[in-house]
């Protein structure tokens, strides 16, 4: 099994089924967790030195942090309803709690914070929706925390790829500090598949092939992208969703396509 593939586990006492930390990934910025909470179950934590974006993947919850309380938020009961999620931004150094008011799935996205922003609720009509690509390279984007919205480090976006289509394609990378052409961003891909017995493929590779891993991704798996190109292909008959978390030394998403496949972008 590849070192870049993280598989879900049985829930721990706080409902955690998957976790990527900077220590486990061998990098500096991105942290990612998934919790599956039953109705009435409560998650309590402190953001410590990291800003957080709590994404309600499915279900409803009451989220509290200090004087801020967002009561019974959430609308999407199934990820593949495709409506944008509710999310909560939290700065570093605050306590928070999430109490499930239905069974729910929660993504906890984190990166280094400098305390520059206040807690806030992100509601579905604030999430910009767009479509990229054409033909079998079409995918649908929902920007939860893009670089146009305030945060210290985090970038959070979800993508729906129709069955049989390619995504993050043509292959692109963001691992060189060369702004404005390219930025350094670590990235995680949290994959969900419908129907759930399906699979997708993701390749992570560098120009010199010192990193070159291809993974069969199943429902609930996470792929870590420390560097290199990282295209994804959805199998015929199986729709693919993924939640991307990105962060790096500068909060800018600037990428370069693989020169061998640049011609594909020029046709779109």
How far, in Å, CA of 29 to CA of 154, rounded?
9
In contact, 29 and 111? CB cutoff 8 Å: yes
d(CA 222, CA 190): 4
C-beta separation of 122 from 86 below 8 A: yes
Round to whole Å and give the CA distance between 123 and 74: 9
Instruction: State the Cα–Cα distance between residues 64 and 42, nearest whole angstrom.
Output: 11
| Element (DSSP H or E) covering residue 69 | strand 68-73
Contact indicator for 203, 231 with CB cutoff of 8 Å = yes
Q: What is the pLDDT along the chain (268 residues), one digit of tens a residue?
A: 458 999 999 999 999 999 999 999 999 999 999 999 999 999 999 999 999 999 999 999 999 999 999 999 999 999 999 999 999 999 999 999 999 999 999 999 999 999 989 999 999 999 999 999 999 999 999 999 999 999 999 999 999 999 999 999 999 999 999 999 999 999 999 999 999 999 999 999 999 999 999 999 999 999 999 999 999 999 999 999 999 999 999 999 999 999 999 999 887 6
Which residue bears the tokens 């709690």?
97
5-267 carries CATH number 2.40.50.140: no
What SS3 class is residue 250? coil
From the list 189, 75, 159, 90, the residue with the least C-alpha distance to 123 is 75
User: pTM, whole model, 2 decimals?
Assistant: 0.96
What is the strand order of the sheet 239-247 is part of? 5-6, 222-225, 186-194, 239-247, 155-161, 139-145, 128-132
């Amino acid at each position: 099994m590849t070192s870049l593939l993280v598989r879900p586990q049985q829930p721990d006492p706080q409902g955690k089924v998957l976790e990527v930390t900077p220590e486990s990934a061998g990098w500096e910025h991105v942290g990612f967790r998934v919790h599956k909470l039953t109705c009435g179950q409560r998650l309590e934590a402190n953001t410590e030195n990291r800003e957080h974006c709590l994404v309600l993947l499915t279900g409803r919850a009451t989220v509290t942090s200090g004087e801020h309380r967002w009561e019974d938020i959430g609308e999407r009961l199934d990820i593949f309803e495709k409506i944008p999620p509710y999310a909560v931004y939290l700065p570093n150094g605050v306590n928070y709690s999430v109490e499930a008011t239905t069974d729910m799935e929660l993504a906890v996205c984190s990166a280094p914070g400098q305390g520059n922003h206040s807690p806030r609720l992100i509601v579905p009509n604030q999430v910009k929706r767009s479509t990229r690509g054409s033909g079998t390279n079409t995918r649908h984007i929902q920007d939860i925390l893009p670089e146009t919205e305030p945060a210290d480090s985090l970038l959070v976006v979800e993508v729906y790829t129709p069955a049989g289509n390619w995504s993050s394609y043509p292959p692109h990378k963001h691992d060189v500090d060369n702004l404005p052409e390219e930025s350094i961003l670590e990235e995680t891909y949290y994959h969900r598949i419908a129907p759930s017995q399906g699979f997708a493929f993701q390749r992570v590779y560098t120009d010199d092939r010192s990193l070159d891993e291809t993974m069969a991704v199943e429902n609930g798996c996470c792929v870590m992208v420390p560097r290199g190109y990282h295209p994804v292909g959805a199998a015929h008959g199986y729709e693919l969703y993924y939640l991307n978390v990105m962060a790096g030394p500068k909060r800018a998403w600037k990428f370069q396509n693989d020169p061998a496949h640049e011609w594909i972008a020029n046709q779109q």
